[in-house]
Each structure stands twice: as structure tokens, then as C-alpha cells.
Amino acid sequence: MAISQRISPCLWFADQAEEAARFYVGIFKNAKINSITRYGEAGKEAHGRPAGSVMTVVFELDGQSFMALNGGPAFTFNEAVSLMINCKSQDEIDYYWDTLSAGGDPKAQVCGWLKDRYGLSWQVVPPKFDEWFKDERSPAAARTMNAMLKMKKLDMVALERAYEGKA
């Protein structure tokens, strides 16, 4: 199945594209692997991958298409790009945080950001995130920012209390 979105992220892995796609599909309830392609003999002098090994995995997470590519160790993920999960509840924040951060880099956990076991950065945020910071000059936004900067995993109740001036 081809990717049907006009713009779709392609995630470069050294050689864990299928493993990572299965990991992500196992976390999100509305998720699936759509297709897997494999390297052939053609182009081996350029790509250096064994014939028959996984080249790409096309998968969906909550209706968003992604492609995972086994491109070798030339490139790695960094924090300049992250995937953001807009959560409806603290239970959702806890679930995605705990599941995605398992085996990841604990030093990269700050202000709702984490790195998973593959080095991909994620932001796990509550529903009012944009609302809290809409007016950067407001005392409510300042209180909320100060509270958030002390957190790793975001605490919706504590952030809401800070926003309302009840912290």
C-alpha cells in the first residue's frame, strides 16, 4: 500500500526500521503496518545493504503515515525534530510517556520531551498546552512555564493549578 498523504515523515534507521515500526504500532491503539519493501541486488554498490533485507516499512499511527527506512548508520536522530502526542488525560500522558521512554535516554527527559530506545524524540503534552502559553506576557503563562521547567513528564493537574494561580 502506498503512502496516501501528500507529506509524510520518513524516519532513517541504521537497520532497525521494522523493529521500530512494530514497536510504535504496538503502542498506539489505532495503528498498523501497511507494507514492507526489501533491498534487491540492484544498487548494492551504493546502498550496501544485503539483498532481501528490509528497506522500508510504511506504517500508520492514529491515521498519520510514516515511512521507516533502513539507510545505514550515516545519520541519526536528534532533538531538532520530534513527534508530538496531544493527550486528552493524565492517564494518556502516563501511558505514552512510560511506554515510549522504556529503554530510552533518561537524560533526554525534560519538560514533556523524551527520547525512545531508537533515539527518536517525542513530546507528550496535555490538551491545554497551547492555551496555557498563548499570551506569553500573562502571569498565568509565566507561572505555568516555571512549573513546567521543573518537570520531566508533564503533570496536567500541577500545570493547571499553576495556570490558575493555585500552585
Given pLDDT bands bounded at 50, 70 and 90, which one contains residue 36?
very high
The pLDDT of 127-134, averaged and rounded, is: 93
Q: What is the pTM of this model?
A: 0.92
Which residues have C-beta within 8 Å of that of residue 108, sequence separation ≥ 6? 79, 114, 115, 121
Say yes or no: domain 10-70 is CATH 3.30.2270.10.
Answer: no
pLDDT for residue 128 is more than 70:
yes
Which residues have C-beta within 8 Å of that of residue 8, sequence separation ≥ 6? 64, 65, 66, 67
- Structure confidence at residue 48 (pLDDT): 86
The grid coordinates of residue 154 equal 508533564
CATH superfamily of 82-164: 2,3-Dihydroxybiphenyl 1,2-Dioxygenase, domain 1 (3.10.180.10)
Ranges in the chain annotated CATH 3.10.180.10: 82-164
Ranges in the chain annotated CATH 3.30.720.100: 10-70
